[in-house]
């Protein structure tokens, strides 16, 4: 539990000190420049949203797999005793 808490705090504080992320390719940058400031920020946020969604899905599946594997191992240990 302490290891998880220390990793979570490290990620949290790292995210606090991150600079602004610009996630636009050259084509999207040219389009955003033509749209103006507010639409460009919305486009950038949409790109970041689309980028993080697969990571969240894979992380959720990995967590569920890890949790079920941990329960299976605990069941194996109590069954052998």
Q: pTM for the full model?
A: 0.50
**Number of structural domains found in the chain:** 1
- Residue 41 domain flag: yes
Residue 54 lies in a domain: yes
State the residue range of the domain holding 25: 21-80
Whether the per-residue pLDDT at 67 is higher than 60: the answer is yes
pLDDT tens-digit series, residues 31-61: 777 888 888 888 888 888 888 899 999 999 9
Burial annotation 38-72 (CB, 10 A radius, 16+ → b, else e): eebeebbeebeeeeeeeeeeeeeeeeeeeeeeeee
Residue 33 belongs to a domain: yes
Residue 1, in any domain of the structure: no
């Amino acid at each position: 539990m302490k290891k998880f808490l220390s990793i979570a705090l490290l990620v949290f504080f790292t995210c606090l000190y991150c600079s602004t992320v610009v996630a636009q390719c050259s084509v999207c940058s040219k389009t955003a420049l033509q749209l103006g400031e507010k639409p460009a920020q919305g486009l950038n946020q949409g790109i970041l949203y689309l980028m993080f969604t697969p990571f969240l899905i894979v992380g959720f599946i990995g967590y569920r797999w890890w949790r079920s594997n941990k329960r299976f191992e605990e069941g194996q240990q109590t069954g052998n005793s």
